[in-house]
Structure 1
Amino acid sequence: MSGPSLNPIRNLHDFIDDLPPSVRADIDAVSRYRSVVAGARILRRGSLPRDVFQVQAGRVKYCSWDHEGREEVLTYMQQGDWIGLSELFTDLPASWDVVTLSPVTVRVVSRRQFHDLLDAHPALSKALLRVFALRFSLHRLFGLDHSALTLKQRLIKMLYFLSFSHEKAATDAQPINLKLSQEELGKVVGASRQKLNPALKALQHEGLLTVRVGGVILHSRARIVERYGHLLGLPTPDKA
């Protein structure tokens, strides 16, 4: 029996891929493109963005700083991911800075034009509703993790979900190269590099990943689901 379908999480990122060609064409028609240097802010915490953005190339992070000046990272995004969707609907200022980690190219669509697209295309509205429902579920689950899960368990979940925004063409059985340093991973799971390293080594010993300089190679999502599907809220595949 085959494993569970992982498409819902995959489509959390580049959700317009599955829209009808006419909808994608209308999005393209109102899009413009911008190049952004590394270290720049695409969104600034406390400001109301006038546009929504889709990353075409490069990497960004959602980040903030606590009262002691320590950086907190919510997540990392790259090609296909959208920025500013929540603010489009809430009319609330951004809660996080979105900072480029490399030179980045973004698609830019104005708020007014995006609202016009939503009015014209129910399929786009439905796709976004699905995105927000998935985001809500994931944020709720990750919000409970610090009190309910060990560092190793939090790391497994984060690596699994981050894998969907890396090498998007990879199948669930293929290796995936996550180009995230241990320092970057530590920020999203709330641990120092010194505490993170033993957890990574334990997962490497289990044959789930290989730690490399500047990144981690997941041997496959399917292998993670087979061993830790219960932790991810997914059924484990039946073994022959």
Structure 2
Amino acid sequence: MPLDQQTDILARMSGEDREALLSLGTMQRFSKGEFVFRAGAPGKHVYFLRKGRVKICQPSHTGKEVILWFCFAGEMFGLAEVAQGGGRVVHAHVCEASEVLKLSQSQFSGFLRDHPDSLHLVMQVLSCRMRTLSEVIVNLVNDDVETRIMKLILRLSARHGVHVGQDIHLDITLTHQEIADMVGTTRQTVTGMLSKLKRRGFLSLENRRIYIESPEIHGTASGPDHWE
């Protein structure tokens, strides 16, 4: 199973466990731009995204934010502070109209106690997230910014890419600022890099969507020499 697909915990649950979970929580609806929670808020609930997209980001002392990951339908977020106690250290910022299932700490603990198979899935999701963040850290240390951008696009296309002939359509919208916040660079650098790849015929851009047009793009993530 691809690494990113392991985080879709609702799809991987048994029907019985999923129904039990959905019956416990409270469904909430959020508009684009709202926060499910902010850094500093009490960490007393776990969330499951039923529809939409939420970015998990950490604010910095400079006022910028670092996007740690995006949550998509079926995924879980907000667990770290519930397990450790204390306040939130990240924001959960809604990227598009979303529906979120909210469970209290006691509800979620009781659910896992009564459904051990789902407990095993939660452990797998946390392990997957740790590996993904470890890869991000290694990329930040070892790769130049162009390579980091390419690796991000390829990682997202593996999970959210739709094949149309030889092309791959990235089936999510991303702003240049969001890409920049995920790879530790500036919006201007991202804009220049995407334009460079577009001129070389690797991809096209339309309505904040990325279309990978050349299979050769999969070889570019090994280093910038491939783009010269």
TM-score norm. by structure 1 comes to 0.78
Provide Cα deviations, 1:170-221, integer angstroms capped at 9, x if missing partner: 479753233011122112111212211232234445654322232322459x
Query: 2:121 — aligned with what?
Result: 127
Q: Say if 2:6 and 2:128, in contact at 8 Å, map to a contact too.
A: no
The count of residues paired between Structure 1 and Structure 2 equals 221
> Whose RCO is larger (CA < 8 A, sep 6+)?
1
**CA offsets per residue over residues 119-145 of structure 1, 9 Å max, x none?**
112211111111111111111111122
Instruction: Please name the residue that 2:156 is paired with.
Output: 162
Deviations 1:69-114 (A, max 9, x none): 2233323333223221222322242221112233322112222111
2:6 alignment partner AA = N
Q: Match of 1:91?
A: 85
Contiguous gaps of at least 5 residues in structure 1: 232-240
Distance 1:216 1:224, change over 3 A: same
Give the 3 Å change call, closer, same or farther, for CA 213–112 of structure 1 in structure 2.
Answer: same
Q: Which moved more, 1:124-133 or 1:206-215?
A: 206-215
Structure 2 counterpart of 1:100: 94
Runs of 5+ consecutive residues of structure 2 not aligned to the other structure: 224-228
In the aligned structure 2, how far is the partner of 1:219 from the partner of 1:85? 38
Note if 1:147 corresponds to 2:110.
Answer: no
Any idea what SS the aligned residue of 1:106 has? strand
Aligned to 1:11: 6
Whole-Å separation in 2 of the counterparts to 1:158 and 1:39:
23
- Equivalent-residue separation in structure 1 for 2:216 and 2:72 (angstroms): 22
- Give the percent of matched residue pairs that are identical in Structure 1 and Structure 2: 20
Give the structure with the higher percent strand. 2
Contact 1:73–1:187 (CA<8 Å) still a contact in 2? yes
CA separation of 1:91 and 1:100: change in aligned 2, threshold 3 A:
same
Distance 1:131 1:219, change over 3 A: farther
Distance 1:105 1:214 in 2: 22
TM-score (structure 2 length as normaliser)? 0.82
Q: What value does the CA root-mean-square deviation take over the aligned residues?
A: 2.8
Distance 2:163 2:108 in 1: 31
